[in-house]
């Protein structure tokens, strides 16, 4: 194979890949395409969520500490995913960690999933909604009994439903 054929072959492969990536999607809700029960196109997520919610839930950003109204929420109720409204945390498991983010010692059953996160070099455990994959925050091993865990959750990633 000479250099010209090699370059032409590479260009053809790149063009086919570019056409695939540029292909517009007419489907708005795509169940399970990314491995989650609820999945939307990025355009639909942007329409559904506020800019801050989108940044946290879909781009794994972190809200500034002490800015969430849910930090001081004291009523009985449930904290739900802002992306899909799945109940995530019961108010009974909330505690004041002094960190500036809503903190919980335990999630509701089958509500969240975790995975290792090396974005800050040192490993952390990321928490995300098991139904839509939205990034919620991180879990640490410095929480109160009975679990010893601190689910440090971005308030903007949740909504609150009073009991």
Q: Which residues are tagged catalytic?
A: 152
The H-or-E segment that residue 17 falls in is helix 3-22
| Contact (CB, 8 A) for 132 and 36 | yes
SS3 84: coil
Q: Hey, CA dihedral for 17, 19, 20, 21, is it positive or negative?
A: positive
For residue 55, give both structure tokens.
């940044």
């Amino acid at each position: 194979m000479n250099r010209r054929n090699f370059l032409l072959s590479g260009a053809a492969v790149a063009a086919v890949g570019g056409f695939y990536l540029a292909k517009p999607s007419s489907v708005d809700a795509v169940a399970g395409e990314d491995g989650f029960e609820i999945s939307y196109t990025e355009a639909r997520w942007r329409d559904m969520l506020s800019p801050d919610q989108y940044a946290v839930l879909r781009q794994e950003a972190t809200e500034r500490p002490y800015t969430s109204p849910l930090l001081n929420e004291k009523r009985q109720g449930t904290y739900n995913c802002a992306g899909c409204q799945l109940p995530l945390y019961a108010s009974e498991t909330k505690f004041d960690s002094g960190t500036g983010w809503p903190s919980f010692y335990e999630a509701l059953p089958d509500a969240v999933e975790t995975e290792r996160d090396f974005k800050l070099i040192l490993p952390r455990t990321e928490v995300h909604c098991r139904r839509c994959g939205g990034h919620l925050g991180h879990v640490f091993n410095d929480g109160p009994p009975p679990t010893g865990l601190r689910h440090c959750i971005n308030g903007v990633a949740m909504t609150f439903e009073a009991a």
